[in-house]
Amino acid sequence: MCIRDSNYAPSAAALINGTLAHSLDFDDTHAEASLHSSAPILSAALSAAQMKNCSGQQLITACVIGYEIQIRLGLAGGASKHYNRGFHPTATCGIFGAVAATGHILGLNKNQFISAFGIALSQSSGSMEFLNDGSWTKRSHVGQAAQNGLKCAVLALEGFKGPQQAFEGKWGYLNSFVSGGDSKKALNALGENFETLNLGVKPYPSCRYSHAAIDGLLELKEEIGFVPPIETLNPLDTYHSKDKSFRAMADFIRQELGKPVTRERLKHIRRKWKGPLVIKGIMHPADAEAAVKMGYDGILVSNHGGRQLDACLSPVEVLADIITQVDGRATIMVDSGFSNGLDIARGIALGADFVFCGRAFMWGVSVLGQKGPEHVINLLSNELQLALTQIGCPSVNELNTSWLDAKT
């Protein structure tokens, strides 16, 4: 949909078109910069083009200029750094792309462009808080970037002065919206290599990070047959009765999780998946042997933390026998009950290639939030090093059963 009604002011049309263009999450995307270009920039450029009655060629040129500015600014800032600060780069970078595109159409000179970017610095916005509740601001961010980009260009054209160092200044974009942006990435091969050519078209109307999972679901639906049609995935009523009591939900979960996983199903999964594949929950040498013969690359010895069967053996009790049975033909991992550095040392000494400590990280997140995992990693590393020092073992690579007490 494109608003062209003359009853709408150009800035209002840019707002509406930008919002609508991003609403289905079907707009083009740049993978490395992790943003969308057409929604904020084309929407603003169309309004400016109508104001100036410019040609199609001028419009296309303006859009490419805007795309390059937006994408390169995203690359300079680093997508992960920007996201980690809670910003939505399609909008925060998009307004500068909108300024570039509309400024070209409106005929801004060098000094006016500098002012327009400076004005946009104070208008650049877009918080990722919408992820927590699915609010509508994700869509409006993009429309506002288009609208405000056009306004900034018009203000500069009329003589309004903006800061002169919008990007590299002490409080400029690369020093406030991101942490330590790299301006060289913005300028690298500018005018020679066009990032616009790296824009991708989406096959599905959703965040591109979900597309691999969608591909997998569609393949499972087509070839394995246990995934229901995509259009019926949302309502829980598809799967169980309308009774939403705790007992009914518990019965539903027990019914779903209680279905047996047969060796035929495991063989089928191995045939369909060509990449590395790990099987979790192995607790007997015979099952480990079967997994190896099926072609599984890794075995995770686990009783799932004792949550599935209260009377199940501990993985430590069966780990050595499974390692002997596998005899190096697959990577051996272990979890369930491992919570500190000494536990990790024991698991590796018993012969495991990897030891998982998932619960420790959950505790870290519950106490320290986003900083929790890093704190847990430091704790586990220090505890492991301390354990090695106390037993006199020079490195993790030297750990084996000779370091364990015979009764351990």
Q: Clarify whether residues 45 and 188 are in a common domain.
A: yes
Query: Tell me: the pLDDT tens digits for 107-116?
Result: 999 999 999 9
Could you tell me the pLDDT band of residue 406, with boundaries at 50, 70 and 90? very low
Of 188, 204, 220, which one is at a domain's C-terminal end? 204
Q: How far apart are CA 152 and CA 154, in angstroms?
A: 5
252-273 in b/e form (b: 16+ CB < 10 A) is: eeeeeeeeeeeeeebeebbeee
Residue 407 has pLDDT above 50, yes or no: no
Least confident stretch, 27-41, 57-71, 113-127, 305-319: 305-319
Q: Please say if the pLDDT value at position 389 is more than 80.
A: yes
Please report the beta strands in 70-202, taking only residues with DSSP state E, as ranges in sequence order. 199-200
230, part of any domain: no
CATH number of the domain where residue 278 is located: 3.20.20.70
- Is residue 211 domain-resident? no
CA 405 to chain centre: 45
Residue at 240 is within a domain: no
The rounded mean pLDDT for the chain is 87
Q: Above pLDDT 90, what percent of the chain? A: 60
Question: Are residue 30 and residue 163 in the same domain, yes or no?
Answer: yes
Identify whether 150 is part of a domain: yes
Neighbouring C-beta atoms of residue 72, cutoff 10 Å = 22
Number of structural domains the chain divides into: 2
Is there a single domain that holds both residue 269 and residue 200? no
C-alpha span between 12 and 25 (Å, rounded): 21
Q: Is the pLDDT reported for residue 322 higher than 80? A: yes
Domain that holds residue 45: 10-204
Residue 372 has pLDDT above 80, yes or no: yes
Is 326 in contact with 305 (CB distance < 8 Å)? no
pLDDT of residue 61 exceeding 80, the answer is yes
> Which of 177, 204, 231 is the last residue in one of the domains?
204
Q: What is the pLDDT of residue 122?
A: 96
With cut-offs at 50, 70 and 90, classify the pLDDT of residue 92.
very high
User: Which CA distances in Å does 345 have to 94, 133, 187, 200, 363?
Assistant: 50, 42, 49, 46, 20
Q: Is residue 336 part of a domain?
A: yes
Angle at 346 between CA 344 and CA 351, to 5 degrees: 100
Q: Please report, for the domain that includes residue 152, its CATH number.
A: 1.10.4100.10
- Are residues 198 and 283 part of one domain? no
Looking up tokens 């009329």 gives: 158
Pair 196, 289 in one domain: no
Range with the poorest average pLDDT among 83-87, 240-244, 310-314, 368-372: 240-244
CB 353 within 8 A of CB 329: no
Positive or negative torsion for Cα 164, 158, 126, 184: negative
Q: Are 404 and 349 in contact (CB under 8 A)?
A: yes
DSSP conformation letters of 282-327: E-SHHHHHHHHHHT-SEEEE--GGGTS-TTPPPHHHHHHHHHHHHT
Q: Domain for residue 297, yes or no?
A: yes
Cα 182 to Cα 45: distance, rounded to the nearest angstrom: 28
Residue-wise pLDDT tens digits, 109-143:
999 999 999 999 999 999 999 888 888 999 999 99
Across the range 236-264, mean pLDDT stands at 65
Scored b (16 or more CB within 10 A) or e, 207-244 reads ebeeeeeeeeeeeeeeeeeeeeeeeeeeeeeeeeeeee
Q: Do 28 and 98 fall within a single domain?
A: yes
Strand partners, 200: 29
Confidence check: pLDDT of 255 > 80: no
| Domain match, 46 and 140 both | yes
Distance CA 298, CA 306 (A): 21
Same domain? For 293 and 391 the reply is: yes
Q: Residue 54: its pLDDT value, please? A: 92
352 within some domain? yes
pLDDT greater than 80 at residue 263: yes
pLDDT for residue 236: 46
Listed residues 204, 220, 247: the one ending a domain: 204
On whether residue 78 sits in a domain, the answer given is yes
H runs (alpha helix) in 304-403: 315-326, 341-349, 358-368, 372-391
More confidently predicted of 261 and 339 = 339
Average of per-residue pLDDT across 272-287: 92
Whether the pLDDT of residue 249 is over 70: the answer is no
Q: Identify residue 247 by its one-letter amino acid code.
A: R
Residues 186 and 319 reside in one and the same domain:
no
Q: What is the pLDDT of residue 259?
A: 65
Q: Nearest CA to 83 among 93, 96, 69?
A: 93
**Residue 233 pLDDT level (bands cut at 50, 70, 90):** very low
Q: Are residues 65 and 193 in the same domain?
A: yes
Tell whether 75 and 190 lie within a shared domain.
Answer: yes
Q: Is residue 54 located within the same domain as residue 169?
A: yes
Tokens of 11: 């800035």
